[in-house]
Chain A
Amino acid sequence: MHIPDGFLSTPVWAGLGAAGLSAVGLLGRRVQRELAESAVPRLGVMGAFVFAAQMINFPIAAGTSGHLVGSALLTYTLGPAPAALVMSAVLVLQALVFQDGGILALGANVVNMALAAVLVAHLCYRYLERSQLRGAGMFAGGALSVLVAGGLALAELGLSGVRIPPAILGLSLGLLAVNGLIEGALTLAVVRALERLSPGWVRKPEAEARPALGILLIAGLLLVTAGVLVASAAPDSLEWLAEEVGLAERARHLFETPLADYQARFIAWPWLAQATAGLAGLAAAFALSVSLGRLLIRRRRG
């Protein structure tokens, strides 16, 4: 899931780089402000724990084994902001010292595996914990953290114009789903074991009401689906949509002059068209899930 350098197009790595850089800056300041001084060195040691925990094999089925990724587990034990900071540090170290993931692609990898994964894990836990489904929330958080991170990576590759045949894309999504289920089960098993050792280590999510985070979760989830679907299924219908709206024409004028080399021309409008379609799908699906959520709440009250 670590994207190396050389795969992402300039708008994608630069955009996600800016997003990742500023998010990590904010997180760093927030962690410094909110945590006791002793917590920062502890976070580093817990990052080392994530590396080491990945060495412990879990037997899955038929002789295969998997291992924990750890973003959900860290979220449930350290809290979301410190967990995201630790995962970012893990990714920086992997990119610099182990050449696992690119340096320019670091922003994308941080957004996928540190920010989105932790956010999704946190929100699943928070929403489901409130409704007496604590275990289910942790399982869903672990599973979705892997799914969202991998799906985002695939979507970013798609947006960059890397062609992935539908069969391979389907296979990758299937593998991601399996890995997600495994991560959910492992996260839950480790949390249960931790609670047997000392219940204090597993945090209760703070009862803060911030709808913005919920919106981000849903947006992230939908961006994954929309992006992957857009990248794989129907480039032709999208082309048609973009021509119809006149976006393609405008995009060409916008992009051709400043970036007049082969690659820029190739990317310019599929990228814009895909992003537009993704955003439209996102808005539609967001409206759908908000109304669904309202319906559910009303039913529980009634």
Chain B
Amino acid sequence: MHHVVLEQWSRRASRVHALDPRAKLVVTLLLLIAIATSPALGGAQFAAYAGLLAAVVLAAGLPPGGVALRAGIVLPFAGALAVMNWLAGDVARSVAILLKSYLSVFAALVLVGTTPVARLFAGLERLGAPRSLVLVLQFLYRYLFVISEQAQHMRLAAQSRGALERAPRRTRLRAPASAVAVLFARSYRRAEAVYQAMLARGFAGHVEPVAPLRLAGKDLLAAGAASGAILAIRLGL
């Protein structure tokens, strides 16, 4: 599955992986803004961004083909809109939509593929994201797979009870609605239990990353160099 592969990538070791998540977040944001504001007909600029991203992928030891393939996730939607704009006579925009959306997803993949999600959230918090949002994100990600698994178990159980049979029309919505309600109830109770357990272990309203974030000289150097390259490309130096 998609996120499992990304998790595995993010746990590799390389110079890019070792950088502070804040540095990577800021540089990614800068790159995305540069891509978004590039002129539609700036073919050379797009090639330069792609080159920059490819260099980071190689330095991080990620499989280039894998990243390129996964970034294609956006192509069906982008392709449909691009075709529409092409047919409407706006060729420049249709090419720009394809290139910009593909490069943006590629950049996001490089960020997530070199940064474990927990450190990404910690970086977001240090960059000033609201603490309650970050806390919700952390719990959301941690329990995502637990509760999805539960939903899958419930679906399997329902199927083995004969849920695939055709129900009369009036009650057809009732069974899956009850399943969602039961899932709600279980999630709610699990949340209570989780909180009790966390209180017992000394939770004080804040999740600390295992390895504290430290912005070292090499982080600033790497971020500065990357930002410089992006600005140079964008401003056409």
Tell yes or no: B11 within 8 A of A by CB: no
Tell yes or no: A135 within 8 A of B by CB: no
* Contact yes or no, A47 B100, CB < 8 A: no
* Contact yes or no, A201 B184, CB < 8 A: yes
Contact with A along B126-145 (1 / 0, CB 8 A): 00001111011111111110
Residue of B nearest to A168 (CB): B84
Tell yes or no: B150 within 8 A of A by CB: yes
Given A4-B104, A5-B101, A193 contacting B133 (CB threshold 8 A)? no
Given A85-B132, A89-B140, A186-B173, A68 contacting B180 (CB threshold 8 A)? yes
Contact with A along B98-141 (1 / 0, CB 8 A): 11111111001101100001001000000000111101111111
A201 to B187 CA separation, bound complex (whole angstroms): 12
A46 to B151 CA separation, bound complex (whole angstroms): 13
CB distance from A170 to the nearest CB of B (A): 13
Contact with B along A144-183 (1 / 0, CB 8 A): 0000000000000100011111001000000000000000
A241 to B130 CA separation, bound complex (whole angstroms): 43
Residue of B nearest to A8 (CB): B36
Given A4-B77, A5-B36, A5-B101, A52 contacting B150 (CB threshold 8 A)? yes
Given A6-B36, A97-B6, A86 contacting B136 (CB threshold 8 A)? yes
Kindly identify, within residues 38 to 52 of chain B, every residue whose CB is under 8 Å from any CB belonging to chain A.
39-41
Tell yes or no: A237 within 8 A of B by CB: no
A293 to B109 CA separation, bound complex (whole angstroms): 49
A147 to B93 CA separation, bound complex (whole angstroms): 27
Residue of A nearest to B152 (CB): A55
Contacts of A193 in B (CB 8 A): 174, 177-178, 180-182
* Contact yes or no, A4 B78, CB < 8 A: yes
Tell yes or no: B147 within 8 A of A by CB: yes
A201 to B155 CA separation, bound complex (whole angstroms): 23
* Contact yes or no, A53 B137, CB < 8 A: no
Contact of A92 among B105, B133, B187, B188 (CB under 8 A): B133
CB distance from A202 to the nearest CB of B (A): 10
CB distance from A169 to the nearest CB of B (A): 10
Instruction: Report the stretch among A32-40, A250-258, A294-302 that lies at the interface.
Output: A32-40
Contacts of A266 in B (CB 8 A): 40, 93
* Contact yes or no, B36 A13, CB < 8 A: yes
CB distance from A52 to the nearest CB of B (A): 4
* Contact yes or no, A162 B81, CB < 8 A: yes
Contacts of A31 in B (CB 8 A): 132
Contact of A44 among B37, B143, B179 (CB under 8 A): B143
* Contact yes or no, B133 A85, CB < 8 A: yes
Tell yes or no: A263 within 8 A of B by CB: yes
Tell yes or no: A88 within 8 A of B by CB: yes
Interface residues on B, range: 35 or more
Tell yes or no: B15 within 8 A of A by CB: no
Residue of A nearest to B37 (CB): A10
Contacts of A59 in B (CB 8 A): 167, 172, 176
How many A residues, CB 8 Å from partner?
74
CB distance from A68 to the nearest CB of B (A): 6
* Contact yes or no, A88 B35, CB < 8 A: no
Tell yes or no: B220 within 8 A of A by CB: no
Contacts of A13 in B (CB 8 A): 36
A4 to B98 CA separation, bound complex (whole angstroms): 11
Contacts of A198 in B (CB 8 A): 185
CB distance from A137 to the nearest CB of B (A): 18
Contacts of B181 in A (CB 8 A): 190, 193-194, 196-197
Instruction: Report the stretch among B56-64, B192-200, B209-217 that lies at the interface.
Output: B192-200
* Contact yes or no, A58 B173, CB < 8 A: yes
CB distance from A178 to the nearest CB of B (A): 15
Contacts of B96 in A (CB 8 A): 6, 263
- Between A and B, 17 residue pairs with Cβ closer than 8 Å are A7-B100, A13-B36, A32-B132, A41-B191, A42-B195, A46-B191, A48-B144, A86-B140, A89-B133, A93-B140, A93-B144, A99-B2, A162-B81, A163-B93, A190-B181, A196-B181, A201-B184
- Given A13-B36, A185-B173, A190-B177, 4 new contacts (CB under 8 A): A5-B35, A44-B139, A44-B140, A53-B180
Please give the residue numbers on chain B whose beta carbons come within 8 Å of chain A beta carbons, in ascending order.
2-3, 6, 28-29, 32-33, 35-37, 39-41, 70-71, 73-74, 77-78, 81, 84-85, 87-88, 90, 92-93, 96-105, 108-109, 111-112, 117, 120, 130-133, 135-144, 146-148, 150-152, 154-155, 167, 172-174, 176-185, 187-188, 190-192, 194-195, 198, 205
The 5 closest A-B pairs by CB, nearest first: A44-B139, A28-B130, A6-B100, A6-B101, A5-B104
